[in-house]
Amino acid sequence: MIKIKLVDDDPDITENIMTILKSEGFNVEAFNELKGAIEFIKDGIPDLIILDVMFPENPAGGLDLAREVRTHDDLMKIPVILFTNINQELPMGFSQDDIDDEWMPVQAFMEKPVNPGELIEKINSLLQG
């Protein structure tokens, strides 16, 4: 069974995403803090990671966590999807075009609220390729 780890500070979002993904047959675990997130991710290495960008203690916490994930040999090849509503909060215009190996080392960027069908499609695409 495909294992997905989700890190987002909003329990309502994590619950909704978990419900959607579990209904598709994925094994999903969620964590709602940055502190301890890398340990959470490493405890039972997942097939895919979903991270929120903005956390109360660090507006770019998810980006920092994505960069940290890439420093661990056992995590560096795992696909990462970045969720954000940063474009609604700040007029920065982040998009899929901003993905790069150093600044935004993820495979996909999705705006909140996430469309469930698009999320499933993106996950399946990343896991196949």
| Residue 87 host element (H or E) | helix 86-89
Crossing angle between the packed helical segments 11-23 and 116-128, to the nearest 10 degrees: 60
User: Which residues of the chain are under the pLDDT cut of 70?
Assistant: 86-104
**Is domain 3-128 in CATH 3.40.50.2300, yes or no?**
yes
pLDDT score, position 85 = 72
Q: What pLDDT digit, counting tens, does each position of 91-124 carry?
A: 555 556 655 566 568 899 898 889 999 999 999 9
pLDDT score, position 96 = 60
pLDDT score, position 94 = 56
Q: What tokens does 68 get?
A: 């940290």
pTM of the model: 0.90
Q: What tokens does 112 get?
A: 């909140």
